[in-house]
Structure 1
Amino acid sequence: MSHDQQNQPGIASSSSFSNSIMSHDQQNQPGIVSNPDGTYTRLIQLPSTPATPDRNTHSPVLSKDLPLNPKNQTWLRIYLPKQALDKPSTTPNLMLNLPVIVYFHGSGFVFTSAASTINHDFCVKLAADLSAVIVSVDYRLAPEHRLPAAYEDAVETLQWLKTTQERWLTQFCDFSCCFLMGTSAGANIAYHAGLRATQVIDDLRPLKIKGLILHHPFFGGSERVRSELGLIKDPFLTLSGTDFMWELSLPIGSDRDHEYCNPTVGSGSSQLQQIQLAGWQVLVTGCNDDPLIDRQMEFANMLKEKGLRTVTHFGEDHHGIELFVESKAKDLFVILQNFITSS
């Protein structure tokens, strides 16, 4: 099904996503079921929002959809702050030097899309508050496409960016100021895409990555850590839910200490040295009531021990709170602005 067919009118309330996930979990329903023909049916249906490329819209941000890989049915949603179009230009094709943020949505590698209202609304706020161009990636989902499919789509997006003739990007972006950002599973994708990008840095020019923004990164491991042992009660993310997502997304036959899931196994990836040499900064954010908090802290400590320029911010509340509560999002955007400026 194409993203146009998935678009539904209406705006989701901030709690509709978490309520949908929780209702299935409480009823011991997985939210997705396999069919005899090998396909899958997602029981959780969430509202979607169409792109708004018309500058007469009341939104402070314009958006448009562009294909990435038609064969894989992947695509991108680009967000441009409307103020960029309103700035006077006496020089044709004047570059306004807006940073570009490549964004990967969350939902355990299994649910939602770049068009899902919860992700669309977050990207609109992100573009408006940071005065940045956002490239939101609609990557292939598991279990139809297990990891590393999403990582491959992420790197393909970077290759697309370096050659695109899309005006919103060529005229308004500073390609030497690019950040990879993701939320939850999307942060996992941003991290692994970053590792892969270090192997082709020269090939990506003029695109230059300055850093990774890992917002509540979704990591795991075979051995339970303290925050996963029921000591933390997150109203959104459950331990059984994380188990189920990893079961659907990891390569068949892999355990939870696979590098895709556990980035600290074996003292971390050998590619981390390349991130250090490239001078990238890494921001890791999390919340104290998230069952993943201990893994996020362990991951951040590993980066620091390896000499990477690492910034951390661990606050109060639960997993993905900034997608649901606007005041929390505002606080996050201040942190992101400082991080981008310092990079």
Structure 2
Amino acid sequence: MASSSDPNAPPPPPPQQQQQPYVVEDCRGALQLLSDGTVVRPATLPFLVGAYQDDGHVEWKDAVYDAGRGLGVRMYRPAAMGKKLPVVVYFHGGGFCIGSCTWPNFHAGCLRLAAELPAVVLSFDYRLAPEHRLPAAHEDAAAALLWLRDELLSDPWLADAADPRRVFVSGESAGGNLAHHLAVQFGTAGLDPVRMAGYILLMPAFTSEKPTRSELETPDTAFLTCDMCDRYCRLALPAGADKDHPLVNPFGPESRSLEAADVGRMVVVAAEGDLLRDKNAEYAERMKAMGKDVELVVFPGEEHAFFALKPMSAATGELVELIRRFIAGAAAAE
């Protein structure tokens, strides 16, 4: 056997090259977390939108509501208005990790809301995880409403079109979760002189450590799977938190009591094929048991986030009509 000083000994192996960063978490290709902590957000968006036309019936423009954090809002209003219209605030979904008001699918859905309700629609961005873990998104959503309170009365583009006494807060998935927390924080009178007339929770992102039947029965082919839901929670929740954290489980062991919360009128929309279906139904039932004015509507045959995924579908048309009736009902209840 050759000694280390043997000139015939093979050369020592080169120093091990540093391993290149690799993907440890992937959210639908719209976000990748690398092993070195780098977050990559590709420019190519993962969601396609069916044929739709921005036909000029709705005017829209972008604004910034938090310059320090670079947070924007896209505002919509019908081009032809005979009277002041209700205001619909919309927060997009994406597990608190992906999405933007500028994404084509969210844009198409908001165009449809503005045209068919009709309404003034404001679609707000918020900080995303994992760069900004919760409660960053909830803080931004509250700041968005405070900004809106001032702008509704001072910005002519909004003031000429919007009725500040009919403001409805909506959101899908993560956005529906935000709508719940805003209802608890602001209720019906928390933005005076603006009047909060109702909350519209579309497949809100509620979960818990104990799995529900709809979670256990969700196939791996579903749009939202248990694995994807867990991934969002790992990336979005505060470090060390589990799925019973109060921001995602409104009835968890550490969650505040909602008995005294004045949330006003509320509609909760669930999808039959959604793993969150049972949590959505439980939320509505428990809120109703506390005496809250909450309606639950389950869309048969639909999956999670069908409004954002299929903004031009017949099901979304039915959803828009449901929202239209809910808005009309607020006026009738006065």
- What range is the shorter-chain TM-score in? 0.7 to 0.9
Q: Match for residue 165 of structure 2?
A: 176
- Specify the code of the residue in structure 2 equivalent to 1:223: K
Matching of residue 74 in structure 1 with residue 59 in structure 2 = no
Count of residue pairs brought into register by the alignment: 295
3-state SS in 1 of match to 2:68: coil
Aligned with residue 236 of structure 2, among 220, 240, 249: 249
Quick check: 1:102 aligned with 2:86?
no
Separation of aligned partners in 1, 2:159 and 2:259: 30
Alpha-carbon distance in structure 2 between the residues aligned to 1:299 and 1:66: 34
**Quick one: which of 126, 134, 148 aligns to 1:147?**
134
**1:166 is the counterpart of 2:151:** no
* Structure 2 counterparts to residues 109-128 of structure 1, below 5 A: 109-128=96-115
Matched, 1:196 2:216: no
Letter of the structure 2 residue corresponding to residue 330 of structure 1: G
After TM superposition, give the deviation of residue 168 of structure 1 in Å.
2.2
Letter in 2 for 1:33: L
> How much has 1:42 moved relative to structure 2?
2.5
Aligned to 1:285: 269
State the match for 1:6 in structure 2: none
Structure 2 counterpart of 1:303: 287
- The answer as to whether partners of 1:31 and 1:44 remain within 8 angstroms in 2 is no
Residue 81 of structure 1 and its aligned partner are, at CA, apart by 0.9
Q: Which residue of 2 aligns with 1:209?
A: 196
CA distance in 1, matches of 2:299, 2:96: 24
Structure 2, unaligned runs of 5 or more: 1-25, 49-53
Paired with 1:143 and 1:248, the residues of 2 have a C-alpha distance of 5
User: 1:264 touches 1:302 (CA, 8 Å); kept in 2?
Assistant: no
Trace 1:234-245 onto structure 2 (pairs within 5 A): 235-245=222-232
Query: Retained in 2: the 8 A contact 1:236–1:318?
Result: yes
- Cα 1:268–1:130 change in 2 (3 A) is farther
Please give the TM-score of this superposition, normalised by the length of structure 1.
0.80
- State the distance in 1 between where 2:219 and 2:293 align: 29
Question: Corresponding residue for 2:304?
Answer: 319
State the shift of 1:67 in Å. Answer: 0.8
Amino acid at match of 2:104: T
Note closer, same or farther for the CA distance 1:48–1:301 as it changes in structure 2 (3 Å cut): closer
Higher helix share: 1
- Do 1:234 and 1:290's aligned partners in 2 also have CA atoms closer than 8 Å? no
Distance 2:237 2:320 in 1: 31
CA deviation map 1:214-269 (0-9, x unaligned): 01111111111111113556631111000000111111111110111111224964
The 3 A distance-change label for structure 1 pair 71 and 195 is: same
The percent identity for this pair of structures is: 33
> Which runs of no fewer than 5 residues in structure 1 stay unpaired?
1-23, 50-56, 88-95
1:185 corresponds to which of 167, 174, 178: 174
- Look up the SS of the partner of 1:274 in the other structure: coil
Return the letter of the residue paired with 1:45. Answer: T
Provide Cα deviations, 1:295-333, integer angstroms capped at 9, x if missing partner: 111111111111000111102121122331521111011
What TM-score do the two structures reach when normalised by structure 2? 0.82
Q: 1:308 & 1:250 partners in 2: Cα distance?
A: 28
| CA positional deviation for 1:273 | 2.0
When Rg is computed on C-alpha atoms for both structures, the one with the higher figure is 2
What is the one-letter code of the residue matched to 2:148?
L
Task: Return the letter of the residue paired with 2:132.
Answer: H
Aligned to 1:333: 320
CA offset at residue 45 of structure 1?
2.8
* Inter-partner Cα distance in structure 2 for 1:137 and 1:68: 9
Find the aligned partners of 1:331 and 1:101 in 2 and give their Cα distance.
17
1:264 equivalent in structure 2: 251
Q: Deviations over 1:159-186 (max 9, x none)?
A: 1112122222111111111111001111
Tell me the equivalent position of 1:130: 117
SS of equivalent to 1:270: coil
Instruction: Using the TM superposition, give the Cα deviation of residue 35 of structure 1 relative to its aligned residue in structure 2, in angstroms.
Output: 6.4
